[in-house]
Amino acid sequence: MINIKQRLQPLQQKWQAWWGTQTPRDQWIIKIVTPLIVIILMYTLIWLPLSERVEVTAQRVAANAALLEFMQDKADVIAVLQRRAVDAGDLGGQPLLSAVDDSTRGSILSPFVTEIAQAGEDAVRVRFTEAPFDELMIWLEYLWSELGVSIDQVTIDRVDDEVGLVNVRVTLVAE
């Protein structure tokens, strides 16, 4: 502590010497302006950055809260879909090819099926020509929700002059 006092003593002496050379009017101005400068510096160097940081943090917290709420809302949907996928994966002991073939024969899509073939060990390739798009989507949803069959690859081409009709090549896999 003494060491600091000794180091500051020459500065204090210089300050007092300089202060003594100032007129009373200048001394009064310095007494008024110095606290104002200190306040302005503290505001711009400390308060503004802190308040900006608080505002940014508050925005991040609000965004994260909104994201959390969204994720919590969707958690129920995801749980239902997972349960449905677990419950759905029942082909009734049938091979995938047979289950897909049976589902097309019993549907409105039967006349539009041009090919059903095995595509590897766990996949079936189905080709439709000029099939009604809406019925095809209903059939695919049925395969997924009831039999646990999902789409591995699909190509859908619109039939040129017919509204709602498509040519489709789809590869299906059992989940």
For 116-148, what is each residue's pLDDT tens digit?
999 888 899 999 999 999 999 999 998 888 888
d(CA 111, CA 130): 10
For the chain, the average pLDDT equals 87
Please write the tens of the pLDDT for every residue from 97-123.
888 998 888 789 999 999 999 988 889
pLDDT at 92 over 70: no
Question: 165 with 159: CB under 8 angstroms?
Answer: yes
Residues 6+ apart with CB under 8 A from 92: 99
Question: Strand (E) positions, 27-138?
Answer: 113-118, 123-132
pTM of the model: 0.50
What is the model's pLDDT at position 60? Answer: 93
The pLDDT value given to residue 88: 47
